[in-house]
Structure 1
Amino acid sequence: MIKVGSSFTNPHAGERTGEESALTRVRLEDLDARSLGKETHPLPLEEALDHEGGWAPRFEGRVLTDFEAKALNVERQIFDLTYLRSE
């Protein structure tokens, strides 16, 4: 785990990096621009790769919010984060 500030740690630090990262997919396909109907400018793979990761897996049973459903309808990615309070 990597400490974030003095009070929180990310138990998924370093996970879901490279081509497995949702951030890499966003950069490769320029999904932000596409979802807004703008011209896309995808990055080459070597520039698009997310080397940090830290994205949490979506846990079983988590409810899809209306906000997330709207984002998915326009092909945006959902990024989950989990932080644990340090004692």
Structure 2
Amino acid sequence: MEGWRVIATVLLAVAGFVIVLLTMAKTRDRAGATSGTVALNGVIAFTALVVLCVLTLTVLPATAAWILVGLVGATVTVMLLAS
């Protein structure tokens, strides 16, 4: 396995975990949100993160993997600045 795949996957996982937590927090802040909806949104976001990490680690070409890491990093930055 190439080293760049491992580095890209780790960066994606760290940024993605922050997105999962922010998604759950924003869901909790909505009026009428129950603990079930918060947990469901967390599971959906975490599952999407795991799928993206596996794809990055195995089959995505270098350009697509690094673009994905950049997009997730930019999304985390925007979500943190907006909250």
TM-score (norm: length of structure 1): 0.31
Structure in which a larger fraction of residues adopt helix: 2
Structure in which a larger fraction of residues adopt strand: 1
Q: Which has the larger radius of gyration?
A: 1
